[in-house]
Amino acid sequence: MKLTLHIWRQKDRKDAGKFVRYEVPNVSEHMSFLEMLDVLNEDLQGKGEEAIAFEHDCREGICGSCGFVINGEPHGPQDRTTVCQLHMRTFKEGDELYLEPWRATAFPVVKDLVVDRSAFDRIIQAGGFVSVNTGSARDANSLPVRKEDADRAFDAAACIGCGACVAACPNAAAMLFTSAKVSHLSLLPQGQPERYDRVVKMVHQMDSEDFGHCSNHGECEVHCPKGINLSNISRMNADYIKASLFMSPREGKEESGA
């Protein structure tokens, strides 16, 4: 099939950027979206032009590297699919597609379709971990976990941090990402001692990164390639409200953060 692409080209962070039109003939329906771009890039390089920059790594839909917006939808029109697992059979002859990077202040464009998602790393660094003292690991089954909680924690832990939730949100909020990272620990016994400190630190870090607020449109959930549920946001809010308003403050110092 033949496609017309309008791809966002931006040299570096400071460049204003613009859409450039490309005609791509002979697209096989068996190609993934990224393979189609590979073919286009080979052609561009053959003509001495600069290749289109996009991020990718595993191309199996699990690493969270790839992702851009296709016709207003992060990762394109197919549910629960990263753009590397999106195949060209989803499109038809003559389709006109607009490819844009995630658009958020917190995710500055590095080049073309590549954005800098270090803001996510800083949210994790603020508290998205369990502090473990040294010693040997305990026996696997000595710590009982309710099956339903284990399932929910696992569902939340499926977040690959691709950033599609931020891209999809009309407010560029990182609530779904942060709530998934808060939830997968807060649902398990290992996450309990730091549960309330963690949620406060991560939410304050999220706010300080210039992400927006949640207005409960639900766009993040439907565009999440891993189907992370909105109820994680409800869970995070409950913990944040409890930790901020009702729990005794941490000994010795005021909560640091944003």
Residues of the shown chain interacting with other proteins in the complex, contacts defined by CB under 8 A: 6, 19, 69, 71-73, 98, 100, 103-106, 170-173, 203-204, 206-207, 210-219, 221-223, 229-231, 233-241, 244-245, 249, 254-255, 257-258
What backbone torsions phi and psi does residue 164 show, to the nearest 5 degrees?
A: -60, -30
Amino acid in position 201: K
Structure tokens, 148: 């339903």
Run of H or E residues at 199: helix 195-208
CA dist 8 and 77 (Å) reads 18
Pick from 84, 94, 95: nearest CA to 33: 84
Q: Which is nearer to other proteins, 58 or 238 (CB)?
A: 238
CB of 42 to other proteins, least distance (A): 26
Q: Which is nearer to other proteins, 36 or 240 (CB)?
A: 240
Q: Which is nearer to other proteins, 39 or 110 (CB)?
A: 110
Please compute, for residue 188, the number of CA atoms within 13 A of its CA located in the half-sphere on the CB side.
19
CB of 178 to other proteins, least distance (A): 10
Contacts of 22 (CB under 8 A, 6+ apart): 4, 5, 6, 7, 40
CB of 205 to other proteins, least distance (A): 11
Q: Which is nearer to other proteins, 40 or 236 (CB)?
A: 236
Contacts of 118 (CB under 8 A, 6+ apart): none
CB of 188 to other proteins, least distance (A): 17
CB of 245 to other proteins, least distance (A): 6
Q: Which is nearer to other proteins, 38 or 221 (CB)?
A: 221
DSSP 226: T
Q: Which is nearer to other proteins, 45 or 256 (CB)?
A: 256
CB of 211 to other proteins, least distance (A): 6
Question: Per residue in 188-202, is it b (16+ CB within 10 Å) or e — as a string?
Answer: beebeebbbebbbbb
